[in-house]
Structure 1
Amino acid sequence: MNFLPGKRGRVAVIGAGPAGMAAAMSVHQAGHDVVLFERYPQARPAGNILNLWPAPIKALGLLGVDTEDLGAPCASEFRNAHGRRRVRVELPEHVVRDYGGGFIGLLRPDLYERLLAALPKDVLHVNHTVERVEQDESGVRLHLSDGRIHEADVVIGADGIDSLVRRTLWGESPKREHNLHIFGGYTFDESVAAEPGLCIVSHNRTVQGSWTAIRNKGRGGFQWWVLEAFDASREFTGDLHSSATALGEAFPHPLPQLIAATDPAYVQRWAIRDRKPLKQWSKGRATLVGDAAHPTSPYAAYGAGMATEDGYFIGRRLAGVDLSDYTQVRQALDAFETPRKPHTARQSQQAYVLGQVFHHAPRPLRPIRDAILDRTPLLQKVVGEATPGEIIKQLGEIDRAEARFAAVPGVGEADGTAS
């Protein structure tokens, strides 16, 4: 590919979630002009609690986001309902040294605040709804709800599970209902004697009950979630805090105490659904990132992390590319999605499978399942050994992307933190 130093292209990003904001920052650092369209009056988090892996934390730092004391680094364990350890995620010493653990617990609004603070000036355009996307080899045209047309060389769809860009490129596809729902909340009540620095994922025969340490604005606290099977065709009419309390009662300290200490206003519920992974994300001058490309169940606790990584990687792949050249654009978008697809598809599918195994196994098989998980290394291999491998692999992918980025002529002026 023949890079043209200093050649600025025009990139439009639709959707100001973690994927869209990360993409806008990375594209800006790559030296292109970027506009980020958000249909709501502000970029707003869809949820309250969040865990990130080390790789998205590393990517955020490279994008100029303040990651100092962003969350609580945690060592991760899977346990049964009696507290017996089934899995411990063991990470290399250098990852523990740099990040403290495999999970970093935080609140989603804190991540949004830091992303917004790092966005380049005048990039974000709120109250802008894109109603239609057209493209040909010469460029992309975004038709806005106010009648205006925005022209760009590349469009990045970061517009979530109901993505307009995904429908435009690949047509309608059904959502996959997991028939699960989750209740989650957080507390900074210091009277609960929970051990810091841990992420504990526990299961009884029908319910997942989990908790992890968090950090928020210099405060230490804990977030928790409980999850069970729930028919997606039914309407939920119960009280959130009471329902969470009932589900958490079967688990050992400190989960019931954390739920009891949580202000009901800080409890949320959401149904779990996704879409099957796409075989291809990009077409023409358009591509997808985050939930638009690979909607992921929170069972993997990694959707926002993968979205952040997507945004980081797409900008790095567009560095040095003449975006007026259709062939170069196609090569760059293919190079972006090729290594991302197997990683994201694996995480998305594993989240779906784990939800089915733990919550939809036939009643007679549940004791057999639990005996296997308690007495064999199966879950340790599937989760405990595979997760560190994926973390290390993604950290390595970022290192390689940074090496390529540093070698691209003409990106030095846009390199470094966002202005």
Structure 2
Amino acid sequence: MSTASIKPGRVAVIGAGPAGMATALSVHQAGHDVILLERYPQARPAGNILNLWPAPIKALGLLGVDTTDLGAACRTELRSASGRVRARVDIPEDVVRRYGGGFIGLLRPGLYERLLEALPPGMLQVNRAVDGFEQDETGVRLRMADGEIIEVDVVVGADGIDSLVRRTLWGEAPKREHNLHIFGGYTFDEGVRAERGRFVLSHNRTVQGSWTDIRHKGRDGFQWWVLEAHDARREFTGDRHATATAMGAHFAAPLPQLIAATDPENVQHWQLRDRKPIKQWSKGRATLVGDAAHATSPYAAYGAGMATEDGYFLGRRLAGVDLSDYTAVRAALDAFEAPRKPHTARQVQQAWILGQVFHHTPALLRPIRDAILDHTPFLQKVIGDSSGEILAQIAAIDEAEHRFTAIRRPEER
């Protein structure tokens, strides 16, 4: 059935982060009417540093987002603090050529700008807080903070780790504290000498120190972060730049130099936390995407990427679906989340496990751990040979796009 024979439904997406904007674009391409509701005065990035792998880059392009010169093409290496290579993420050369590298390094505001440019006029509504919603088989009714009631066929919670939609569907659930904190920043200082085209993730006995090449609005620079164990019950009140300088001091160049070259105003700090994967994302006419569904530690370096993929796949599943038909909506939402849950759960859990291994291993065992990482292929097998997951997501996008093309309006083919 082509989308030309389906009456457009109405979909509300709550939250204008990467998950929400990607969802809005994909659902719009599927032929439905979309309102994207953002509680703040503007769609605002939470943080600066960002990495994107090939699959979300492919999805962005298919959603009409301009990915030209979006970030710096990088290859990933895991090293010891002294600079010894422990593992490399090996991605086939044809994938590197097609998507601008094994992954790209960029600043988060750059991705937001490209997504916002792609949104149709009037789709994004800011200063629009949702207080709650009710649903039945006939539709969804959103209660807005200003008292307005908005009726839609489907509601999508792209509203982050503290998601109202998730809480409404599945109740309260505690966040999982990693007892880690991270300091990150970026610099465009041309005086720092560092390899281009690299993402270097390194560890000493207690600290992760990492840096990567970036591109932002046509400028070359670098982003970096340092991460260590920290009791989440204790509020950090120190100087962010000074603390990051001390944490990075014993790593190989250029990490100490990058930290030194960073304006203290461009250094951020946050605690690492996530939520354990849930068995089901959708209920009735509501579903979840991004951190609302699978809040992920930055240790996975895949949070924004998975959020973008979620949005892409959800829109493709709603193509050709009569959203007034409750049974059809349920089938589409189930089909959307079924392949996404195992993929995202693996990333969430791997990020959790890696954080525990690198930062919460008992002190007496750390030399043994590091000897294993330095002298065995363990790390290469766990992380380095991860291109299979990346290729699987690219293949899933190809399959979804083939299905989508087959049901689009004939005049759009």
What residue ranges of structure 1 are gaps of 5+ in the alignment? none
Deviation at 1:6, TM superposition (A): 3.7
Query: Structure 1 CA distance, aligned partners of 2:347 and 2:35?
Result: 30
SS in 2 for 1:293: helix
SS in 2 for 1:327: helix
CA-to-aligned-CA distance 1:274-306 (integer Å, 9 cap, x gap)? 000111100000000000000000011110000
Query: Structure 2 CA distance, aligned partners of 1:179 and 1:411?
Result: 53
Matched residue, 1:30: 30
Query: Structure 1 CA distance, aligned partners of 2:293 and 2:171?
Result: 13
Query: Structure 2 CA distance, aligned partners of 1:232 and 1:139?
Result: 41
Verify the 8 A CA contact 1:30 1:411 in the aligned structure 2: no
Query: Structure 1 CA distance, aligned partners of 2:252 and 2:105?
Result: 21
CA-to-aligned-CA distance 1:319-359 (integer Å, 9 cap, x gap)? 00000000100010011000101110000100000000000
Query: Structure 2 CA distance, aligned partners of 1:137 and 1:244?
Result: 53
Flag the 1:340–1:363 CA change in 2: closer, same or farther, 3 A. Answer: same
Describe how 1:243-258 pairs up with structure 2 within 5 A. 243-258=243-258
Flag the 1:24–1:3 CA change in 2: closer, same or farther, 3 A. Answer: closer
CA-to-aligned-CA distance 1:42-90 (integer Å, 9 cap, x gap)? 0000001100101111111111111000000100000011111111011
Name the amino acid aligned to 1:403.
H
Are 2:345 and 1:345 equivalent residues in the alignment? yes
SS in 2 for 1:311: helix
Flag the 1:234–1:395 CA change in 2: closer, same or farther, 3 A. Answer: same
Deviation at 1:252, TM superposition (A): 0.5
Query: Structure 1 CA distance, aligned partners of 2:5 and 2:161?
Result: 36
Deviation at 1:102, TM superposition (A): 2.0
Query: Structure 1 CA distance, aligned partners of 2:292 and 2:2?
Result: 30
Flag the 1:3–1:21 CA change in 2: closer, same or farther, 3 A. Answer: closer
Matched residue, 2:380: 380
Matched residue, 1:198: 198
**TM-score if structure 1 supplies the norm length?**
0.97
Name the amino acid aligned to 2:123.
V
Matched residue, 1:313: 313
| Percent of aligned pairs with the same amino acid | 76
Verify the 8 A CA contact 1:320 1:411 in the aligned structure 2: no
**TM-score if structure 2 supplies the norm length?**
0.98
Name the amino acid aligned to 1:394.
Q
Query: Structure 1 CA distance, aligned partners of 2:77 and 2:201?
Result: 6
Query: Structure 1 CA distance, aligned partners of 2:46 and 2:63?
Result: 22
Matched residue, 2:149: 149
Query: Structure 2 CA distance, aligned partners of 1:411 and 1:401?
Result: 17
Matched residue, 1:396: 395
Verify the 8 A CA contact 1:7 1:320 in the aligned structure 2: no
Describe how 1:16-55 pairs up with structure 2 within 5 A. 16-55=16-55
Query: Structure 2 CA distance, aligned partners of 1:155 and 1:47?
Result: 26
Deviation at 1:149, TM superposition (A): 0.5
Are 2:161 and 1:161 equivalent residues in the alignment? yes
Name the amino acid aligned to 2:302.
Y
Describe how 1:188-227 pairs up with structure 2 within 5 A. 188-227=188-227
Query: Structure 1 CA distance, aligned partners of 2:316 and 2:54?
Result: 19
Query: Structure 2 CA distance, aligned partners of 1:184 and 1:130?
Result: 32
Matched residue, 1:293: 293
Verify the 8 A CA contact 1:319 1:411 in the aligned structure 2: no
Deviation at 1:409, TM superposition (A): 4.4
Deviation at 1:98, TM superposition (A): 1.2
Matched residue, 1:406: 405
Name the amino acid aligned to 1:286.
A
Name the amino acid aligned to 2:79.
R
Runs of 4 or more off by more than 3 Å in structure 1? 1-4
Query: Structure 2 CA distance, aligned partners of 1:304 and 1:185?
Result: 18
Flag the 1:136–1:411 CA change in 2: closer, same or farther, 3 A. Answer: farther
Number of residue pairs matched by the alignment: 413
Deviation at 1:100, TM superposition (A): 3.5
Deviation at 1:99, TM superposition (A): 2.2
CA RMSD, 1 decimal:
1.2
SS in 2 for 1:113: helix
